[in-house]
A and B are shown apart, each in its own frame.
Chain A
Amino acid sequence: MPPGSSPKDEPVNQEQFERALLEIKAGKEDIRPSDVVIFSEPLRSTLNRAVRIGRISLTEFAKELEVERERAREIVELLIKRNLLRVSSFSNDKETFYETRLSAMTRPLGRPPSDIFKKLDD
């Protein structure tokens, strides 16, 4: 039994872990703010806090998600692939820190039929 877990907690945490994996794997593009809003708990609040502070450690991430470090690392790897997290230069042998960055291009909202606005500026 890994440290910090108990048989009583295990089924709940397993469910949370699998749900978090599924939700993150559901998309391939960069994670947008609107993605975070629809993530389930505790993934949503964990990411909200990390985004607001701008940085989170693997230990904090595991604690807030209520999963073991190795499981937290699996989730983190997916979040790195979707460009929400990147490994921080503050990381050391004992702890890995991640910086957060909500990203993604906004979709173009509309295309004028001609370049009339540039002509107006000129």
Chain B
Amino acid sequence: MSKIVSVHSFRGGTGKSNTTANLAALLAMGGARVGVVDTDIQSPGIHILFNLDESEMVHSLNDYLWGKCGIKDTAHDVTGHLGTQVKGQVFLIPSSIKAGEIARILREGYDVGLLNDGFRDVVTELGLDYLLIDTHPGLNEETLLSIAISDVLVVIMRPDQQDYQGTAVTVDVARKLDVPKMMMLVNKIPSAFDLDDVRARVEQTYKVKVIAALPHSDEMMTLASSGIFSLKYPDSIVTKGLKAVADEISG
């Protein structure tokens, strides 16, 4: 049974795309076929983590939304970019990084229902075990749709007052959409904070299980999105936390 997983944060800069890419790699390391959709159409970026160059992008999600191609045509097999540890397969559906195409989406909008159809079709057509949706920060129709059709929602936040308030909105909306499984990940926790204390405080605030409370990582910053962290640093505490999230998704 395939699972659709939305990875969301109310605010930008929480490490959402990085987390999505790592979860995809970790799930694929266990032999799964994983699709990743970049629905952050206004500010795409996850393709960089998978080392997918613009010149390699045959079709993007934008092309599908404009009826230029089928959803399957937009899927790029990036497994070869991840190294030999990955036993399964990872397919990336990138959003266009052409300024004109981003502007066209902003100008004209698109039928959100096509995302609905596309998500379901690509799961079937590629025989995916998991479809991970890297959402746009905040709440809009696309994000609500992603959450509405997901089996699992991973909410990411930083221990920041602005994140606390916004995350409450996300959690409230997710509850109204009856997401079957919701979990949280607290990311980029400063070294001055106690990880267990942060985890307990967040769980108490939202009444949602925090699967991982991850410290700020200089290694992650140094990697600077040039690869998948968990593959390069398999023994890091950050990787262990991400593995716990992947296990919770697959469990």
Partner-B contacts on A (CB < 8 A): 30, 32-34, 36-37, 44-45, 48-49, 51-52, 54, 83, 101-112, 116-122
Contacts and interface: CB of A to CB of B under 8 A. Distances in A.
Given A37-B176, A111-B107, A106 B141 contact: yes
B144 A37 contact: yes
A83 B114 CA distance: 13
A37 to B, nearest CB: 5
Interface stretch (B73-81, B93-101, B154-162, B215-223): B93-101
B148 A51 contact: yes
Max chain B C-beta neighbours (<10 A), residue from A54, A83, A122: A54
Contact of B145 (A33, A54, A108): A33
Q: Which 10 A-B pairs have the closest CB atoms?
A: A103-B113, A33-B144, A117-B103, A121-B100, A106-B109, A117-B100, A48-B178, A118-B100, A117-B99, A33-B145
Interface in B151-199: 151, 173, 176-178, 180
Contacts of B56: none
Given A49-B178, A106-B140, A117-B103, 14 more contacts: A32-B112, A33-B145, A33-B177, A36-B148, A36-B177, A52-B148, A52-B149, A102-B113, A104-B141, A105-B110, A105-B112, A106-B141, A109-B106, A120-B100
B203 interface: no
A106 B116 contact: no
Interface string B81-125: 000000000000000001111111011111111001100100000
A110 B106 contact: yes
Q: How large is the interface on B (under 10, 10 to 19, 20 to 34, 35 or more residues)?
A: 20 to 34
Tell me what chain B mostly uses at the interface: helix, strand, loop, or mixed.
helix
Interface of B: 42, 98-104, 106-113, 116-117, 120, 140-142, 144-145, 147-151, 173, 176-178, 180
A103 B108 contact: no
Contacts of B107: 108, 110-112
A81 to B, nearest CB: 15
A69 B153 CA distance: 33
A105 B102 CA distance: 16
B148 A103 contact: no
B141 A32 contact: yes
Nearest to B151: A52
Given A32-B112, A102-B113, A104-B112, A37 B173 contact: yes
A49 B177 CA distance: 9
A90 B167 CA distance: 40
